[in-house]
Amino acid sequence: MNSWARSACLGVLAVLYLTGCMKGPNPWSPKTYPGELGRYERDPADLPASWKKFYVEGEEEKYFFFENEALRASITVSFTCGKYTDIPLEILAEHLLFPMGRSAVVESKGYVPGGRVEVYHLRARGQVEYGEPEKDQAHGPAAERVMDAYTVGENHCVVDVSYLAPADAFAQGLPDFQAALRDYGIPMAEENVGRR
């Protein structure tokens, strides 16, 4: 390799190295915004021990969920950062209905007043379509569920906090979900206020 080619290769490597080092934190990673998401990272103090925690993390997304086997219910907290913050929350919240497919019936929706940031509430009923019947053997592959969800617009991240349960167990686990919302500092929709 001649000296010109060697210099060119070294120059390209130097540029790649410097740009890799200088690009800074990933703007889409929830790890970039620990101050903004810290309130959601801690486990809700008022959530009973019957809710077991599971944690999943990816490059651009991060979420964890609590599962109550006795109720066949879950509370999910997910973060998406660095994008979608310019899209209205009512549009972003629609993705929460996807697991219910066309069977989803929205029972209530709307912005929740009184929060430090914008909060959108959505409650829907429908059949969650599992790909495998063994996912929910008690109810089969398309069990009717009720979902109560809050989409929160933080400064750099969108946070979804949702509760999903079979219709016959929904009311039983709702107070636990409300306790988690209070611990996270999320105001509740009018129809949920005062219930515990």
Please determine, looking at this structure, whether the domain spanning 26-192 carries the CATH number 3.20.20.70: no
For the beta sheet containing 118-129, the strands, ordered from the edge strand earlier in sequence to the opposite edge, are 52-57, 61-68, 73-81, 157-166, 142-153, 118-129, 105-111
Q: What pLDDT is stored for residue 12 in this prediction?
A: 44
Q: What pLDDT is stored for residue 102 in this prediction?
A: 76
DSSP run (H or E) holding 109: strand 105-111
**Most distant CA pair in the chain: distance in Å?**
78
Phi, psi of 165 (to 5 degrees): -150, 155
Closest CA to 123 of 77, 40, 189: 189
Closest CA to 90 of 111, 105, 75, 62: 111
Question: Which position has the higher pLDDT, 4 or 111?
Answer: 111
Give tens-digit pLDDT for 105-125: 899 999 998 877 899 999 999
pTM of the model: 0.72
Give tens-digit pLDDT for 164-178: 999 999 999 999 999
